Structure 1
Amino acid sequence: MNRERKAPDVVIRRLPLYLRALELIDHNESPIISSEQMAQIIGTSAGQVRKDLSYFGVFGKQGVGYQTLALRDELRRILKLDREIRVGLIGVGNLGEALVRYHQKSPVHRPLQIVALFDTDPKKIGRKIAEVEVFPLEDLEKRIAEFKIKLMILTFPAVNVQEVVDLCVKNGVKAFLNFIPASIKVPFGVKLHTSDVTLELQSLAYYT
């Protein structure tokens, strides 16, 4: 399963859906899963499942399918979820706090560990949200190094965003999940995913 080739971002973003489907299956009852079963669970086609997995050298047996446990473990490896990944969050407002609480309660949140929160409000510094401490934003550089943070969630007001992101990148952050309605640039080799609730709602309005 090591004959990998570069996969498009849209394929990478579907892999967690496949992994979630596999984690919901009792492998004792279903030791083998077909591409048709996977497709039905996540709402795509069997051909799409096979094509996506083939990017990573993952091929099921024709007429049989995939070994459930082996495929689950392989997807974890591909997504680098076979090791702990330390996550930080900047902006402990309503959205930031809700994200932390939701993530910490999720039964599948490990190995993605939120280890540090950052804010500029003195009243929030030192608080713990779902057992995760809030640090002053001015300590960002020091805490990234201390906690070995590789992924950062951005939920703070759109002020000095690029400066903050640049500082994170400089200190080793490799990926960002951004909820800020702002234009952000990251260098090659660093990944940025932006989620704008307003834009999502506007696109859904078309179907109403």
Structure 2
Amino acid sequence: MKLVLASNNAKKLVELQALFAPLGVELVAQGSLGIAEAEEPFETFAENALAKARHAARASGLPALADDSGLSVDALGGAPGVRSARYALDAGGEKGDAANNERLLRELAGREDRTARFVCALVAVRGAADPEPLVAMGRWPGRILTAPRGTGGFGYDPLMFIPPLCRAVAELGAGEKNIHSHRALAAGELVRQMREVWKLG
């Protein structure tokens, strides 16, 4: 079965393809089909993921999978949240992971509470008008470091320390990350639902 992935993030495509491999599905990035990215006007990960999945399904005529994920920091009232990828840009800064990480460190300077979690909403639809979208959430708790560590991953991975693993996410190998991450937790739940409801795998 071919699923359109409502993202043009190459690293996310690799992660998700590995996580959904047990179902025998093939993920195709929407950009390779000439599909523009959808608007993300909502305040929650789940609503944005659903909007992206419906957009990709409508434009492609194929089933679609969408992920909306980001970082939620307790001391910042859940920010950057759904604005995680645009966190620095929203404050007049540059676009990109490094700028986002720099803004996060500035916002948390001097704060004792550095608890946070990576959050992922994954949504799958059989078509644009699917009345029964499959929705799964994954949450990966940790705390924000005072300086980046590691060279792997992307986004806020160098700043997110996972106490049970005693390492930052950017210090984990791809295989280890795919076992523990918020995306892995959400994917595991979505795979279960796709087997049960869509009869895949």
Q: Give the shorter-chain TM-score range.
A: under 0.3
Larger radius of gyration: 1
TM-score of the pair, normalised by structure 1: 0.25
- Structure with a larger share of its residues in strand: 2
